[in-house]
Structure 1
Amino acid sequence: MQKHSKDLPELEGDYSLSPQQIASYQQDGHILIKAAANPAEIAAYREVISYEVVAQKIGKYTKPLSERDTYGKAFIQITNLWETNPAVKRFVTARRFAKIAAELMGVQGVRIYHDQALFKEPGGGHTPWHQDQIYWPLETEHTITMWMPLVDISEEMGSMTFASGSHKSGYISKLVISDESHKTLKEYIDSKGFGRVTYGAMKAGDATFHAGWTLHSAPGNPTIRMREVMTVIYFADNTRIAEPDSNARKNDLDRWLPGLHAGELAASRLNPLVYSSSK
């Protein structure tokens, strides 16, 4: 049964970041934040997020894993749960997480781009190397994704692997997530000598944050448990929309920035301001 949003934790309390953590994120393009949500908080929100994923995935993932392409094997992906579930909205728009995102990027305020539940099934495939921001028509380097497991994940089940410092290269390739992106970007990482960092096992409520241009991948899930993860993508307030230069960006403009055009402020009804240091 769905919970009413008023019965869930507020997630308003501040998480204190050190100057060293902020500097590390800005240097590497990724960071692990321990206990961004406490066990009681994440248990409460896991219930409502999982409920929504199950409700929305019916009919969308009917093929067995063996018959899906690489992208389809990587995860069950449900986007913008906050639009349909007020309880999930409370998690996605939480001030605590948004403030972490803003402080890591060094900006005064952040808006939501969209959320994604990414559930990697038992036996699910790997997530190929890619950059998130190739999909996003945003004129800024100040974008960031929070990746938070809703359950404890073992080292075997796998968290993400990041290519440290790769965000400083900016727009590397237009390749969408695919076998081709995995091969081409792996070769690029090797040629540039980027160090690879994997955070391994994570507790429910821990979170990684990574920049939109940071190259990253994830292993498959060889366990018998679902790897349940919730993500939220933020971008700096006052960002303008870039002219879409690919079909992926055109599609994103229509879906996540409805009614807006290149050159306008990225501030549609789907992009609420969720944190501002001036308010």
Structure 2
Amino acid sequence: MDQTKVLPELTSSYDLTEEQIKEYQNLGHICLRGVASEEEMKAYRDVIYQKTQEKTGQLAPLSERDTYGKAFVQVMNLWEHSEDVKKFVMAQRYAKIAAELLGVDGVRIYHDQALFKEPGGGHTPWHQDQTYWPIDTDKTITMWMPLVDVSEEMGSMSFASESHKRGYISKLGISDESHQTLGEYIDAEGLEKVTHGAMKAGDATFHYGWTLHSAPGNPTDRTREVMTIIYMADGTKVSEIDHEARANDLKQWMPGLKTGDLVDSPLNPLVYSATK
């Protein structure tokens, strides 16, 4: 059976209030409840889970991995490999939320990623996502949506409120060093740390690319299954390539582009525009 014909469309609108948009732009993060329904999540969880398992490959035992490897099983751009997952990633509902929170006309995909934190999986160190991204804008946003209910014990992400206003704080990638250095920065600057607590499947957090964030380990016997989608404002250009991580991202997620080019490669489709 062709599942793409029976999966929910995800085209209906999720309406934001002006207060929610202001909260997001001020704090750099927000939790929105019920972005997708229980029925929608049941349908898409299955296809995302199956494709993630197919693409994961053979993993070393947790005890043999480094801090990054213990933090999560990570599979990127699932939309390229599955028409079913593509329907989820390209959903108008999510992209419209992203554009409205950013205050822009339209958004393009940077990439998606499934992040599965296994039972006993380690914490995700403090970091800024945009450290890795060679894009010349602060209008970037990540949707983090659990595919299964996430208990208080299992944990959702923690954010350093208003840290996005500091811009490019550090070139450190996700590591023990980033956790210590950025953790000390947060404390020294008196930034408030906020965790949105338990989340239902279909709830979602959104955060800017420059917002400092981390996540706890998973002490439960259930995998914390999360799907993320990263968006950027339409009209964004490729930035200067100032370190290897950005060079790698340019090659992988914006093939054929160079510094100064508009980000419009086939891997960066326009998924929502209020006017186009």
Deviating beyond 4 angstroms after TM superposition, the runs of 4 or more aligned structure 1 residues are none
Q: Which residue of 1 aligns with 2:170?
A: 173
Instruction: Tell me the CA shift for residue 4 of structure 1.
Output: 2.4
Q: Which residue of 1 aligns with 2:34?
A: 35
Q: How does 1:35-184 map to 2 (within 5 A)?
A: 35-59=34-58, 61=59, 63-184=60-181
Does the residue aligned with 1:144 lie in a helix, a strand or coil? strand
Q: Percent identity?
A: 66
Q: Which runs of 5+ in 1 are unaligned?
A: none
Does the residue aligned with 2:174 lie in a helix, a strand or coil? coil
Match of 2:204 among 187, 207, 216: 207
Does the residue aligned with 1:90 lie in a helix, a strand or coil? helix
How many Å separate the matches in 1 of 2:16 and 2:2?
31
Over residues 44-102 of structure 1, what are the superposed CA-to-partner deviations in whole Å (9 max), with x where a residue is unaligned? 0000000001111122x1x1101100000000000000000000000000000000000
Q: Which runs of 5+ in 2 are unaligned?
A: none
Q: How does 1:262-277 map to 2 (within 5 A)?
A: 262-277=259-274
CA root-mean-square deviation: 0.7
How many Å separate the matches in 1 of 2:10 and 2:231?
17
Letter in 1 for 2:123: H
Over residues 182-230 of structure 1, what are the superposed CA-to-partner deviations in whole Å (9 max), with x where a residue is unaligned? 0000000001100010011000000000000000000000000000000
Letter in 1 for 2:255: P
Does the residue aligned with 1:213 lie in a helix, a strand or coil? coil
Letter in 1 for 2:44: Y
Q: Which residue of 2 aligns with 1:12?
A: 11
How many Å separate the matches in 1 of 2:155 and 2:242?
33
Whether the 8 Å CA contact 1:3–1:87 is kept in 2: the answer is no
Whether the 8 Å CA contact 1:145–1:231 is kept in 2: the answer is yes
Instruction: Tell me the CA shift for residue 3 of structure 1.
Output: 5.2
Letter in 1 for 2:216: P
Instruction: Tell me the CA shift for residue 6 of structure 1.
Output: 1.9
1:244 aligns with 2:241: yes
Does the residue aligned with 1:78 lie in a helix, a strand or coil? strand
Instruction: Tell me the CA shift for residue 141 of structure 1.
Output: 0.2
How many Å separate the matches in 1 of 2:137 and 2:211?
14
Instruction: Tell me the CA shift for residue 5 of structure 1.
Output: 1.4
Letter in 1 for 2:47: V
How many Å separate the matches in 2 of 1:258 and 1:57?
23
TM-score normalised by L of structure 2: 0.99
How many Å separate the matches in 2 of 1:20 and 1:3?
41
Over residues 116-168 of structure 1, what are the superposed CA-to-partner deviations in whole Å (9 max), with x where a residue is unaligned? 00000000000000000000000000000000000000010000000000000
TM-score normalised by L of structure 1: 0.98
Letter in 2 for 1:26: Q
Does the residue aligned with 1:98 lie in a helix, a strand or coil? helix
How many Å separate the matches in 1 of 2:36 and 2:261?
35
Instruction: Tell me the CA shift for residue 243 of structure 1.
Output: 1.3
How many Å separate the matches in 1 of 2:235 and 2:5?
31
How many Å separate the matches in 1 of 2:3 and 2:146?
22
